[in-house]
């Protein structure tokens, strides 16, 4: 009896110590700051999206709440917080209530491994498996979407949830594969031959050690740690495009916003949600956008590097300059994130949305083969050039040229493929009509018997198109 009591005391004491410990406080602060960042970022992004879309569409956008409508989203958040949380009848209550949290939690967790500047980072940032962790978190999102779709007891929501599951799982693959080549690059560039998947390390690979006018303080100030010619976007432009496209699909943004296609599915898995639960989904979506943009900026655009950052934060500088350098780094990083989010918005105003089967086709028949070919090509090029005795610089230049050519080839293939798939899609409908017309002279032909009908009109051929 006494043993059990002692055990319980130990357990409680340990928990108490854990909660009151320095590490726990760290995590609390980390969570609060991430949540604050996601929230603020979402508010700013929603406003920016509405304003930018309005400018592109020849209208004003929000105008009356605050100066130039700047407080519109703040007011919206207030409204959403105060709104009634409506539960429709016969929903699966536990699933329905949990879904927004399940959707939002991985988004917030993703930020844990993102460094924001040389010194500003969260406790998880040194994690050596940064990219793997990020991908794992972004894959978890789909669970929340399916839960929302299932728990809503609504056919539109269910279709939206299932579409989303298929879409997110399909686009996960090219997304991962497009990052593999970057990791290969790091393993080639490092002398030890062992690459890295830590985000900060990959970023550091994009800072060249030499720049024009080295030694001159002005040039040093600008170019130390800011060498755009060494960014991976120049070496692997195709992967940036593919990664970004997959990011669009991952975050359910237009033109891949089928799960919440409002013209077909009303609001997809969001249909039955209202108030703050609905807002949580939105928060998650915009948080996802930020994550995708942040990873693109880190892996391909040099992260926080910009004029002055490395110069000011170099060891030996006064603490005031160090702080300024960090703030500058934060500014550059967030600027890059928002510029990339701007591309999201730009795409949204321009493009119509794809059909579900075309979406799958695009992922499996175009994106995955392209990324696989790129991996093989990168490896083969390195082996060949290495055997010829060429330096890493030559390899990077050759790889860059090949990749830029592949980028234009990719666009050509995509345009050809859409035309071809369109023709294929056109064929069954036309053939079906012709056969129906031949079968019966009457215009309103009766429905054919079951097996033939599926054959003729292509009904049920969900994977055949």
**Choice between 158 and 396, CB closer to other proteins:** 158
> Does residue 432 bind other proteins (CB under 8 A)?
yes
Q: Quickly list H helices, 212-318.
A: 217-223, 232-235, 237-250, 262-265, 275-300, 309-312
Print the SS3 string covering 75-142: HHHHHHHHCCCCCCCCCCHHHHHHHHHHHHHHHHHHHHHCECCCCCECCCCCCCCHHHHHHHHHHHHH
Q: For residue 58, what are the CA distances in angstroms to 82, 259, 345, 353? A: 33, 28, 15, 21
Residue 70 or 432: the one with the smaller Cβ distance to other proteins is 432
Q: Please, what is the angle between helix 155-189 and helix 275-300, to 10°?
A: 20
**Least distance between other proteins and beta carbon 456 (Å):** 8
**The one among 13, 85, 262, 452 contacting other proteins by CB under 8 A:** 262
Query: Smallest distance, Å, CB 435 to other proteins?
Result: 12
Site string for other proteins, 138-167 (x = CB under 8 A): ------------x-xxxxxxxx--------
257 binds other proteins (CB under 8 A): yes
Quick check: 428 binds other proteins (CB under 8 A)?
yes
Name residues whose C-beta falls within 8 Å of residue 139's C-beta, 6 or more positions apart in sequence.
Answer: 168, 169, 172
**Given its phi and psi angles, is residue 50 left (phi above 0), alpha (psi -120 to 50 degrees) or beta?**
alpha
- Interface positions, 357-386, toward other proteins (CB under 8 A): 357-358
Residue (184 or 445) nearer to other proteins, CB: 445
Q: Residues of 67-81 as b/e, b for ≥16 C-beta within 10 angstroms?
A: eebebbbeebbeebe
Please select the residue that binds other proteins; options are 134, 199, 337, 354, rule is CB under 8 A: 354
Dump the DSSP string for 313-343.
TSTTS-HHHHHHHHHHHHHHHHHHHHHHHHH
What distance in Å separates the CA atoms of residue 244 and residue 410, rounded to the nearest whole number? 14
Determine which residue in the list 14, 187, 350, 386 makes contact with other proteins, applying CB under 8 A.
Answer: 350
Q: Does 425 bind other proteins (CB under 8 A)?
A: yes
Least distance in angstroms from the C-beta of 206 to other proteins: 33
Does the footprint of other proteins cover residue 355 (CB under 8 A)?
yes
Cβ proximity to other proteins: between 66 and 428 the closer is 428
Told to check if 426 binds other proteins by CB under 8 A, we report yes
Select from 283, 280, 288, 262 the least CA-distant residue to 85. 280
Q: Does 353 interact with other proteins (rule: CB under 8 A)? A: yes
For other proteins, which is the closer residue by CB, 157 or 199?
157
Interface pick for other proteins out of 128, 433, 439, 440 (rule CB under 8 A): 433
Cα end-to-end distance, the chain, whole Å: 69
Instruction: Determine, following the binding rule CB under 8 A, whether residue 341 of this chain makes contact with other proteins.
Output: no
| CB-nearer residue toward other proteins: 201 or 264 | 264
Count of beta carbons in the 10 Å neighbourhood of residue 320: 9
| Minimum CB distance to other proteins, residue 304 (Å) | 33
Q: Does 28 bind other proteins (CB under 8 A)?
A: no
Binding footprint of other proteins on the chain (CB under 8 A): 53, 56-59, 90, 92, 150, 152-159, 254-255, 257-258, 261-264, 266, 348-358, 414-415, 418-419, 421-423, 425-430, 432-434, 437, 443-444, 447, 456-462, 465
């Amino acid at each position: 009896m006494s043993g059990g009591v002692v055990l319980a005391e130990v357990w409680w004491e340990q928990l108490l110590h854990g909660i009151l410990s320095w590490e726990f406080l760290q995590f609390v602060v980390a969570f609060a700051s991430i949540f604050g960042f996601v929230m603020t970022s979402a508010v700013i992004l929603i406003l920016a999206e509405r304003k930018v879309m309005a400018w592109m569409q020849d209208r004003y956008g929000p105008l009356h709440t605050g100066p130039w409508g700047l407080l519109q989203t703040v007011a919206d958040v207030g409204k959403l917080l105060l709104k009634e949380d409506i539960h429709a009848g016969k929903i699966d209550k536990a699933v329905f209530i949990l879904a927004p949290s399940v959707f939002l939690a991985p988004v917030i967790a993703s930020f844990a491994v993102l460094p924001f500047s040389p010194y500003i980072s969260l406790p998880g940032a040194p994690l050596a498996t940064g990219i793997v962790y990020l991908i794992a978190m972004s894959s978890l999102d789909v669970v929340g979407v399916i839960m929302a779709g299932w728990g809503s007891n609504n056919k539109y929501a269910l279709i939206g949830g299932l579409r989303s599951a298929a879409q997110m799982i399909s686009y996960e693959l090219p997304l991962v594969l497009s990052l593999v080549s970057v990791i290969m690059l790091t393993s080639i560039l490092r002398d030890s031959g062992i690459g890295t998947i830590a985000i900060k390390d990959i970023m550091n690979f994009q800072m060249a050690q030499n720049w024009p006018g080295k030694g001159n303080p002005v040039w040093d100030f600008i170019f130390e740690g800011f060498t755009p010619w060494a960014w991976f976007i120049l070496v692997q432009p195709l992967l940036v495009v593919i990664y970004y496209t997959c990011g669009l699909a991952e975050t359910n943004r237009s033109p891949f916003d089928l799960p919440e296609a409002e013209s077909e599915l009303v609001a997809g898995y969001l249909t039955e949600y209202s108030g703050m639960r609905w807002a949580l989904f939105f928060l998650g979506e915009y948080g996802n956008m930020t994550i995708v943009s942040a990873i693109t900026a880190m892996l391909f655009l040099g992260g926080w590097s910009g004029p002055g950052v490395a110069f000011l934060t170099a060891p030996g500088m006064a603490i005031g300059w160090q702080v300024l350098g960090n703030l500058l780094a934060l500014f550059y990083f967030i600027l890059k994130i928002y510029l990339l989010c701007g591309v999201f918005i730009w795409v949204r105003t321009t493009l119509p949305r794809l059909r579900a089967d075309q979406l799958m086709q695009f992922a499996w028949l175009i994106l995955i083969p392209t990324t696989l070919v790129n991996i093989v090509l990168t490896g083969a090029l390195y082996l060949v050039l290495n055997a010829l005795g060429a330096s890493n610089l030559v390899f990077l230049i050759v790889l860059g040229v090949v990749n830029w050519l592949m980028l234009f080839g990719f666009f050509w293939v995509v345009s050809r493929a859409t035309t071809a798939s369109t023709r294929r899609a056109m064929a069954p409908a036309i053939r079906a009509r012709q056969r129906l017309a031949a079968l019966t002279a009457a215009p309103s032909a009766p429905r054919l018997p079951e097996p033939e009908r599926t054959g003729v009109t292509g009904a049920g051929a969900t994977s055949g198109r």
